[in-house]
Structure 1
Amino acid sequence: MAKEKKTEEGFKIAGFPLSMFLVLAIIIFASVYLNLLPSNMIGAFGFMIVIGAILGEIGNRLPVVKDYLGGGPIVIIFGTAALVMFNLLPEGTIKTVDDFMKESNFLDFYIAALITGSILGMDRKLLINAGARYFPALFGGIVASLGLVSIVGGLIGYGWKQALLYIGIPIMGGGMGAGAVPMSKIYGGILNQDPTSILSIMVPAVALGNALAIIAAGLLDKIGKVRPQFTGNGRIMVSQEINLETGKKFGLDLTMMGMGMLMACTFYVLGNIIGNFVPSIHSFAWMIISVAVVKALGLLPDKFEQSASQWYQFVMNYWTGALLVGIGVSYTNLADVIAAISWQYILLVGATVLGAILGTWIVGKWVGFYPIEASITAGLCMANMGGTGDVAVLSASRRMELMPFAQISSRIGGAIMLIIGGFMISLIGKL
């Protein structure tokens, strides 16, 4: 019996035993290279899930990549972009993925699930009680990071405006799916430019920012061991404990997942309605604000909130790889990415991450937080690559219990950066 159990729980990819996954992958790749992949969401989903699972496994096992560069997500994005750049994918497959991402708008569907479920899945008391202290620390990190990158950009001749808009703001914007991608759409709409070319400049900033944030998290953990007065070893407040446990738990339920999907779609539509009347703020930002208000006011029963959380967890766990494939194929021009990287670029990314640490350290200590915990959550979890970056940063700092605060940074903080980005590009983008 023990041997049977070991066999059943052996190596799996995309949930399948390796032998079964290989059969599925062979069928998908055969259709791709015989130009028989269905040119609809079925064909797109099949290809994107398979290639995302393969590249994700590779990235999560490469020694340096998995420890310092974010692992699978980075390999998926740049790996698929390389397949396009070197003409290793048929044009029909590229068009199928493009249509699924842009015409069918799979990206927005994913973002809607992510925003609604992650916020409604938080503990309400945590959201309310921590907000009064947490948001000043978060804003301290934003101001310091954007200020420092602008100063360094001006000093080295890169341009303060370019450094602020295309490096600092994207890094602090909550990753790719709910950060750089919608931000590129905001920039493109205001500047009447192609969002794809804008995203190609932002992608290396987000990727490098994520890598430096992970490294910095490990260094902060080491500082805490040398200077224990700066850390609560996972407890963020000096004088107040906050219960991080969530409310009543509901078991996995397929009907609840369907309810969660409908709620995500409805909040997305609500964001678009409000955005139609107040177009100066992006609809994604309005969506996050509306979800946060509903959560803070306790307007939904626990079952509805956890329905959204269950749907989000499914989408996040099984579709993230597919989404990153779409980003790599449709939104990442690898030639532009390579051209954008320089010593000035790396220096500016480092300035952004350093500013996030310093700003949250100072303000966090002032409002009663332990400086290291404040810098990790309100600082580095703003500068990393969203949800996957949160896991990597908290793992590197050995503080996984701070995940609720990390989600506030990635989701609500990301919405704040969309607002700031839209305002700043309107104010100085055309100067």
Structure 2
Amino acid sequence: MNNQGTILLQSQKDIKKITFLELDLKYFVPIFIIVLVAAYTGSLPKGMIGAFGLMMVFGALLDYIGNKMPIVKDYLGGGPIVTIFASAALVYYNVFPKAVFSTVENFMKGGGFLDFYIAALIVGSILGMNRKLLIKASIRYLPVIIGGVLVAIVLTGVVGSLLGYGFTKSIFYIAIPIMGGGMGAGAVPLSQIFGQALNQNPTDLLSVMVPAVALGNAVAIVVGAFLNKLGKKYTSLTGEGKLLKNFDNNTVDEEKESKLSDLKELGSGMIIALSFFIFGSILSKFIPMHAYALMIISVAIVKALNLMDKKYENYAAKWYQFIAKNFTSALLVGIGIAYTSLAQVIDAFTITYLILVLTTVIGAVIGTAIMGHFLGFYMVEASITGGLCMANMGGTGDVAVLSGADRMELMPFAQISSRIGGAFMLILTSLLINLL
């Protein structure tokens, strides 16, 4: 066989290996075509079936494309960013009939899919953490995160005021979304909190926040690579992957995921997550804080005080893993269609906006480095985990930042920043919104 034939045969084998939603192409392509035909012929069912079907297939496709695009996959967040903005572009260019977009929007907002996802994410991720790690992190690591958040917020507010963007506007629309833990558990619930407190449309608010989160993620990845080089030049600043001085990293390993032994466990995990969400909604009637924030506090207390049997914590963690693995891309399609106005994103993208994004990320690095130094942390590692992993896009951003910084062993701490740090930002925002 000649070289061309060998190359062609290899290409065919590579194509056969491509899967979407764990489906081979010969199954996924017909499903995709069915959804397209339904969308264009007005046959797409209204409600959950039509919306979920479209979101699932487009989410899988766009996520795959984003994770294969050069530069985008390495520096701009890959699949999540492409999924959000490509979905928003579908609306901007009227690719589908308006009824299709209305179906998705109703499912995301009126149907409560967003709240359903967030409940699983927050409850499962916190209950699934190692309890000792959670307590130790709260005592020694959380102050480092807070230091980065405060410097980032104040510095961005000051620079925003000097540039004429506004002190408060710079803080709430740029600094806080960037430091909020990504899209699904950060910018989206933040827009809900802002919308409720300010009596504004969350969609309009999210359109301003989304580019901040995207740019912040890209900047965090680049800065992570820079800090790695800085540590090689000034070795006293880094522990070469070790965060705390005189600290045994083996004590912070997260517990391994247990295998799913019974499908009923997913049902138990779901009702646990939903119950915490409902409990947060009840508390919000009596406490002037958003239901998300109150849910977070409730879950953290239950976990820290060891009030729930371990097996039920595992059920909630498994439910979170199931939702995150299967529905995240679909959720991002919904965010792009229902919550992201591409026209407003374009209008928000200015030189001033870019400067403020840079200021936020740099402020996070400075704040965590200083606070980390005083608490016995290595400055480079503190800045990467407590600063950059707060300023990125959550889980995918953690991988990108730590990979660029050559610090993948710090993933447990990065997850604390994304989970607990992001939760802290929701609580802080609920308090600040009433003060400012």
TM-score by length of 2: 0.93
Q: Is 1:378 the equivalent of 2:386? A: yes
Equivalent position SS for 1:318: helix
Q: Is 1:358 the equivalent of 2:358? A: no
| Per-residue deviation, 1:247 | 4.4
Aligned 8 A contact 2:126 2:299 in 1 = yes
Mean CA deviation greater in 312-321 or 128-137: 128-137
Equivalent position SS for 2:285: helix
Q: Deviations over 1:38-71 (max 9, x none)?
A: 1121111110010011111111011010010000
Instruction: Give 2:357's match in structure 1, choosing from 346, 349, 359.
Output: 349
- The number of residues matched between the two structures is 423
| Aligned equivalents of 2:62, 2:201: Cα separation in 1 | 28
The residue that corresponds to 2:280 in the other structure is 271
Aligned 8 A contact 1:231 1:372 in 2 = yes
Q: Is 1:310 the equivalent of 2:310? A: no
Aligned 8 A contact 1:387 1:410 in 2 = yes
The residue that corresponds to 2:222 in the other structure is 215
> Do the aligned partners of residues 194 and 53 (structure 1) sit closer, same or farther apart at CA in structure 2, a change above 3 Å counting?
same
Q: Is 1:178 the equivalent of 2:185? A: yes
Question: Could you tell me which amino acid in structure 2 is paired with residue 418 of structure 1?
Answer: L
Instruction: Give 1:225's match in structure 2, choosing from 232, 246, 251.
Output: 232
Q: Deviations over 1:296-349 (max 9, x none)?
A: 112222211111111111111110000000000000000001000100000000
The residue that corresponds to 2:407 in the other structure is 399
Q: Map of 1:227-306 to 2, 5 A cutoff?
A: 227-242=234-249, 243-247=251-255, 250-253=258-261, 254-278=263-287, 280-306=288-314
Q: Percent identity?
A: 54
Question: Could you tell me which amino acid in structure 1 is paired with residue 266 of structure 2?
Answer: M
The residue that corresponds to 1:49 in the other structure is 56
Equivalent position SS for 2:71: helix
Q: Deviations over 1:283-302 (max 9, x none)?
A: 11111111111111122222
| Per-residue deviation, 1:14 | 1.6
| Aligned equivalents of 1:321, 1:108: Cα separation in 2 | 16
Q: Deviations over 1:93-112 (max 9, x none)?
A: 10110111001110010001
| Per-residue deviation, 1:371 | 1.1
The residue that corresponds to 1:411 in the other structure is 419
Question: Could you tell me which amino acid in structure 2 is paired with residue 419 of structure 1?
Answer: I
| Aligned equivalents of 1:194, 1:130: Cα separation in 2 | 36
The residue that corresponds to 2:334 in the other structure is 326
The residue that corresponds to 2:148 in the other structure is 141
Aligned 8 A contact 1:122 1:404 in 2 = no
| Per-residue deviation, 1:236 | 1.1
Aligned 8 A contact 1:200 1:333 in 2 = yes
Q: Is 1:422 the equivalent of 2:405? A: no
> Do the aligned partners of residues 9 and 218 (structure 1) sit closer, same or farther apart at CA in structure 2, a change above 3 Å counting?
farther
| Per-residue deviation, 1:411 | 2.1
| Aligned equivalents of 1:198, 1:394: Cα separation in 2 | 30
| Per-residue deviation, 1:249 | 5.5
TM-score by length of 1: 0.94
Runs of 5+ consecutive residues of structure 2 not aligned to the other structure? 1-9
Q: Map of 1:84-103 to 2, 5 A cutoff?
A: 84-103=91-110
Measured on the aligned residues, the alpha-carbon RMSD in Å equals 1.7
| Aligned equivalents of 2:15, 2:332: Cα separation in 1 | 29
Q: Is 1:67 the equivalent of 2:101? A: no
Equivalent position SS for 1:276: coil
Q: Map of 1:12-27 to 2, 5 A cutoff?
A: 12-27=19-34
Aligned 8 A contact 2:216 2:391 in 1 = yes
The residue that corresponds to 1:28 in the other structure is 35
Question: Could you tell me which amino acid in structure 2 is paired with residue 336 of structure 1?
Answer: Q
| Aligned equivalents of 2:408, 2:265: Cα separation in 1 | 27
| Per-residue deviation, 1:388 | 2.1
